[in-house]
């Protein structure tokens, strides 16, 4: 089927964390999907001149759909949890919800957060935990080719507000150069207009462009059952379609 899926917590996680990878997978002919656990209703970094607090959920939903279109994503699936409540949700139920979606789509490539959720956001860490539980408990009715935990290089990736923390370079297995699609990634990030102030304040976007040292995307590769894989050298290419 040649499908890839990214599973994240809030609208904007996908574009910031792996926008360049999503764009390039789609270019290579992968059918790409996203699962977003919430609609980002609890954001405090939104643009108050542009949207009222009570409209944040529906507006951010539209922003994610627009970003997805820019990145060539085929479909966005929402789990409809409330933002900032994932820790409190019933874990078994959430794992089941995710399993139903994944088993229907059977994506060969699965992307989600690394253990610390990159930024240590509790929602991010919870999505990671749900996904690992799902994989380790054998909830999938098929064998994915690989699972990638999205991260950043913690030597270079830290933004002013500490948003991107990341992993030690020795834990990172996969480094994808996104220079060629950096402008397209910036457009996808900027589609999250309610988050503009945060995106500019943290230095990710400078003068409408992606900051120079954010032109690689980093992953920790696991096998299809969520176990670590040993690679002789770092993987620098996206997987070819089967
Ligand atoms: Zn997030």
Distance from the CA of 121 to the center of ligand 1, in angstroms?
Answer: 7
What is the whole-number distance in angstroms between the Cα of residue 80 and the centre of ligand 1? 14
**Ligand 1: centre distance to CA 217 (Å):** 16
First to last CA, the chain: 8
Question: In angstroms, what is the span from residue 145 Cα to ligand 1's centroid?
Answer: 26
Distance separating alpha carbons of residues 148 and 228, to the nearest angstrom: 10
Q: Ligand 1 centre from 210 Cα, in Å? A: 18
Q: How far apart are CA 196 and CA 199, in angstroms?
A: 5
Q: Which numeric CATH code is attached to 3-222?
A: 3.40.50.10320
CA-based nearest residue to 32, from 24, 40, 41, 43? 24
| Cβ contacts of 238 within 8 Å, gap of 6 or more | 21, 24, 25, 28, 176
152-176 mean pLDDT? 79
Number of other CB atoms surrounding residue 35 within 10 Å? 25
Say if strands 3-8 and 109-113 run parallel, antiparallel, or are unpaired: parallel
pLDDT tens by residue, 174-228: 999 999 999 999 999 999 999 988 888 888 899 999 998 889 999 999 999 999 9
Give the pLDDT of residue 50.
86
Kindly list the domain boundaries of the chain, sorted by start residue: 3-222
CA distances from 112 to 18, 109, 194, 205, 241 (A): 10, 10, 23, 23, 20
List pLDDT tens digits, range 71-92: 999 999 999 999 999 999 999 9
How close is the Cα of 141 to the center of ligand 1, in Å? 28
Residue 161: the pLDDT is 60
124 C-alpha to ligand 1 centroid (Å): 6
Q: What is the pTM of this model?
A: 0.96
Per-residue pLDDT at 232 exceeds 60: yes
Neighbours of ion ligand 1 (CB under 5 A): 9-10, 13
């Amino acid at each position: 089927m040649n499908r890839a899926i990214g599973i994240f917590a809030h609208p904007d996680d996908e574009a910031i964390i792996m926008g360049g990878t999503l764009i390039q997978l789609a270019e290579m002919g992968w059918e790409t999907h996203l699962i977003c656990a919430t609609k980002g209703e609890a954001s405090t970094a939104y643009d108050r001149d542009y949207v009222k607090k009570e409209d944040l959920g529906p507006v951010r939903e539209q922003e994610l759909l627009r970003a997805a279109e820019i990145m060539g994503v085929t479909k966005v699936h929402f789990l409809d949890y409330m933002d900032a409540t994932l820790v409190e949700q019933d874990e078994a139920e959430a794992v089941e919800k995710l399993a139903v979606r994944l088993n229907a789509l059977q994506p060969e490539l699965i992307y989600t957060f690394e253990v610390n959720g990159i930024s240590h956001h509790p929602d991010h860490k919870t999505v990671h935990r749900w996904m690992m539980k799902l994989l380790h408990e054998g909830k999938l009715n098929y064998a994915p080719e690989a699972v990638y935990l999205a991260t950043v290089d913690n030597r270079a990736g830290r933004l002013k507000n500490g948003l991107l923390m990341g992993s030690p370079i020795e834990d990172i297995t996969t480094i994808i150069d996104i220079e060629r699609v950096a402008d397209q990634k910036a457009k996808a990030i900027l589609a999250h207009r309610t988050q503009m102030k945060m995106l500019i304040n943290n230095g990710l976007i400078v003068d409408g462009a992606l900051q120079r040292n954010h032109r690689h995307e980093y992953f920790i590769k696991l096998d299809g059952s969520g176990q670590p894989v040993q690679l002789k050298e770092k993987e620098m290419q996206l997987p070819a379609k089967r």
